[in-house]
Amino acid sequence: MTAPRDEVLAQFATHEVEQQAATPGMLYPQLLAQVHRRLARQWGARVSEAAHVAFGQSIADWPAFADTAAALKYLKRHYKLVILSNVDRASFAASNAKLGVPFDAILTAQDIGSYKPDPRNFRVLIATLGALGVAPAQILHTAQSLFHDHAPAKAAGLACAWIDRRHERPGWGATRPPDGTPAYDFRFESLEQMVRAHEAEGGP
C-alpha cells in the first residue's frame, strides 16, 4: 500500500481517536500497536505481530522538537509546568529525559483512565493545579492539537496558547481535524516564538 504521507497520517489519526474512545484504559503502547493492526487491516497488508508491538514500543525513540527543552527551561523560571499527556507513565518518562526540566505535576492517560479530548482529563488537570495553588483563571493550556487540547480546554474555561507547528503545511498531521474552529487566546509557531513573545513583554 502506498499513499501520500499526509493521507497516511490522517488515517492514523482516525484510528487512534476511535481506539482511544473504545479502550480508554488501554496503555498507550498497546493502543498504538492496536492502531497499527487496524491500519494493516485497512490496507490489506500482511504485517507480523512483532512489527505491531515494535510500533507500539517506539515512543521512547520519538524526538522532542528542537526548541522544546530550552523553551521549557526558560518557562520553568517563571511558571509552574504541568504535563497533561495522552501517553502512559513509562512512555512519558522516556520523553521527559529529552526535555531536561522537572515538572510540577505529570498527568498521563494511564493516571486518569481516559484520553484527551475527554473532559475528565481537563477536570483532573484543573483539580491538580488547584492543589498546587493555581486557580483555573491562571492556567494557560499550551499545546498543538486543536482537537485533543484546545477544544476541550476552552470548554473547561481555560485560556489557551496554540503552538501551530504545522503552519507551513496543509492538513492536521497525525491528529484528527477539530470540529469547527476551536477558539484560542494566543498562537505561536513554536515554543521558541512563545518565549520570545514573553521576553518582549518583560516577563511576569
Among residues 46, 61, 76, the one where a domain terminates is 61
Candidates 70, 99, 67, 71; CA nearest to 85 is 99
* Residue 111 domain boundaries: 68-200
Among residues 15, 42, 61, the one where a domain terminates is 61
- What is the average per-residue pLDDT within 64-87? 96
CATH code of residue 145: 3.40.50.1000
pLDDT at residue number 203: 64
Residue 174's Cα: distance from chain center in Å? 11
Tally of structural domains, the chain: 2
- The backbone torsions φ and ψ at residue 143, rounded to the nearest 5 degrees and listed phi first, read -165, 170
pLDDT digits (tens, 9 = 90+) for 156-174: 999 999 999 987 776 776 7
pLDDT digits (tens, 9 = 90+) for 58-74: 999 999 999 999 999 99
Q: Given the C-alpha cell 491562571, which residue does it identify? A: 138
Q: Do both 115 and 150 map to the same domain?
A: yes
Q: Do both 78 and 138 map to the same domain?
A: yes
Report whether 28 contacts 110 (CB < 8 A).
yes
Assign 22 to helix, strand or coil. helix
Q: Do both 73 and 111 map to the same domain?
A: yes
- What is the average per-residue pLDDT within 64-92? 96
- What is the average per-residue pLDDT within 132-157? 97
